[in-house]
A and B are shown apart, each in its own frame.
Chain A
Amino acid sequence: MKRSIIKWTTLTIATLMFSIFGAIGARADMLRMAVTTSFHNSGLAEILLPEIKKDTGIEVQLLVVGTGQAIRLGKAGDVDAILVHARAAEEAFVAAGFGTHRREIMYNDFIIVGPASDPADVAGAKSITEAMQKISAARPKFVSRGDDSGTHKKEMSLWQAAGISPEGDWYAPVGAGMGAALNTASGLDAYILSDRASWLNFGNKGDLAILYQSDAGLFNQYAYLPVNPAKHPHVKTGLAMRLEDWLTSERAKELIDGYRLHGEQLFTFNAK
């Protein structure tokens, strides 16, 4: 009986080992980058990644998460670099030594989406602050990301700037990604703050439409932050640097500025 148990245990461990080591080893030029859902949903990633692979030989594996989680992954050293859009959190990340530096790459903008009938008359607002005040006064349904993402942080700062602390039946934090939150807003006929890229690429618009846009307060800067090898010696700093060089190159500028979705330019390259 003992021998049989040993045989069985060996077989189990062997199978486990086989499946573990089958996965390790390969892909020397692989770099993991956590990016925000808005960057990925825009479809730009699908344009850039093959070009990066072609020009630099780096295979970039994207983890599509909210900015809050992306920063967490960077802090734990589970990714080699992050591409996010929440300036205050990014600066804290670098200040705490988790990232080597912060490099601005490109920007796009946020928009207020809501039911086309616009019961809160957001379209008539003169500034984003006024738009937020109109929403909180009319109390239509408003869906919030509620997931500590860059978009959520932006929304909170907009409420704060308008002197409002949003709460009540009308305010629905869903704790989900941009797409899932847009689905909820579409189902509830609710207002929501979205980045333009996710909205344009979103397939379930229902009765929703863009109600407020093009305000300086809705500017959305994306930045690239390599994870600090001093904190996590295993991160692939060399690859992260090469990727940064590519992301700030003329080639990247051409691709980012040239990316159109339904005839609209989504991102503007502004790396220095």
Chain B
Amino acid sequence: MSELWSGITQAFWLIVTLNADLVEITLLSLRVTLSALGIACLISLPWAALITVRRFRFRRILIAILNALMGLPPVVVGLIVYVLLSRAGPFGVLGLLFTPTAMIIAQVLIIVPLITSIAHQSLRDLWVEYHDMLISMNTTQWQRVKTLLWDSRRALLTASLAGFGRGIGEVGAIMIVGGNIDHATRVLTTAIALETGRGDFALALGLGFILIALAIAVNLAIHGLSHTEREGRW
């Protein structure tokens, strides 16, 4: 119990004094996960809409696979990315291993199935409503995709926030492909793992509280920017 309390005090002092290392790893956490989220959304959302409006042969299998991949263990993704990016691997010449880029790639792979699946669920519900109208208006497929994406933007926001949540709290993959290098690839989650390993539970907990606060702040900021959860709106 005393460790919980001293974790809270440590978190408080780290924030109040704007500890330079803390600022650095927090910014890197944000940079990695927000970049991964941006790229993942650009890939996921159009795909989710296409899967919704198009009927093709392996559609059901594809949806089943996407749903299954939502639970992909990050450590496996990390290992795969590691093997691919290692100097001995096919993309070794790029020299990307142990860089923030490698961490972004791993996180994109982890959150794309999650965002695609959640987005597809809500787009499908909307498509049931819009189907007859959009067909009768003789719209092109791209127009249907655009309409669906725009009209379910609130639900898609939830899907991306779920992706953000999975990315920011993830440690298994980025530990392997990033290497937790001080001043280069250390982020909040890997720093927490490191401090736990040193037996400094108070500092680890303090960083944990900061991580939670950060996730809440980002969620609030996105809601604020997109004017959701306000009076008179849904």
Contact = CB atoms under 8 A, between A and B. Distances in A.
Interface in B76-124: 86-88, 92, 94-101, 104
Given A8-B42, A78-B97, A180 B180 contact: no
Give the one of B87, B184, B201 with max A CB within 10 A: B87
Closest 5 CB pairs of A and B: A179-B197, A204-B199, A1-B142, A77-B87, A203-B199
Interface of A: 1, 4-5, 8, 11-12, 15-16, 19-20, 22-24, 32, 37, 41, 49, 61-64, 75-78, 177-180, 182-183, 186, 201-205, 232, 234
A16 B96 CA distance: 13
B229 to A, nearest CB: 28
A179 B198 contact: yes
B43 interface: yes
Contacts of B104: 19
B197 A77 contact: no
A81 B198 CA distance: 24
Interface residues of B, number: 35
Nearest to B104: A19
Given A11-B42, A61-B182, A179-B196, 14 more contacts: A1-B140, A15-B39, A20-B94, A22-B101, A23-B101, A24-B94, A24-B101, A63-B98, A75-B88, A78-B88, A78-B98, A179-B197, A183-B196, A183-B197
B51 to A, nearest CB: 15
Contact of B199 (A12, A62, A182): A182
Contacts of B95: 24, 234
Contacts of A178: 197
B129 to A, nearest CB: 22
Contacts of A41: 197-198
Nearest to B87: A77
A203 B200 contact: yes
Contact of A78 (B87, B196, B199, B200): B87
Given A8-B46, A61-B181, A76-B87, A32 B199 contact: no
A37 B197 CA distance: 10
B181 A19 contact: no
A29 B104 CA distance: 24
Interface in B137-195: 140-142, 179-184, 194
8 contacts: A1-B142, A19-B101, A23-B101, A24-B96, A37-B197, A41-B197, A177-B197, A205-B199
A16 B100 CA distance: 12
A138 B86 CA distance: 46
A202 B43 contact: no
B10 interface: no
Given A1-B141, A11-B42, A15-B42, A61 B201 contact: no
B26 interface: no
B35 interface: yes
Nearest to A199: B199
B38 interface: yes
Contacts of B179: 61, 63
Contacts of B198: 41, 179, 201-203
B214 to A, nearest CB: 20
Nearest to B203: A203
Given A19-B101, A63-B179, A77-B87, A12 B39 contact: yes
Interface in B6-36: 35
A178 B197 CA distance: 7
A61 B100 CA distance: 13
A12 B43 contact: yes
A37 B86 CA distance: 21
A203 B98 contact: no
Interface string B43-83: 10010000000000000000000000000000000000000
A146 to B, nearest CB: 15
A203 B181 contact: no
Contact of B38 (A15, A22, A63): A15
Contacts of B86: 76, 78
A62 B42 contact: no
Nearest to B201: A204
A202 B99 contact: no
Contacts of A177: 197
Contact of B87 (A15, A62, A234): A234
Contacts of A64: 180, 194
A74 to B, nearest CB: 10
Give the one of B46, B94, B184, B199 with max A CB within 10 A: B199
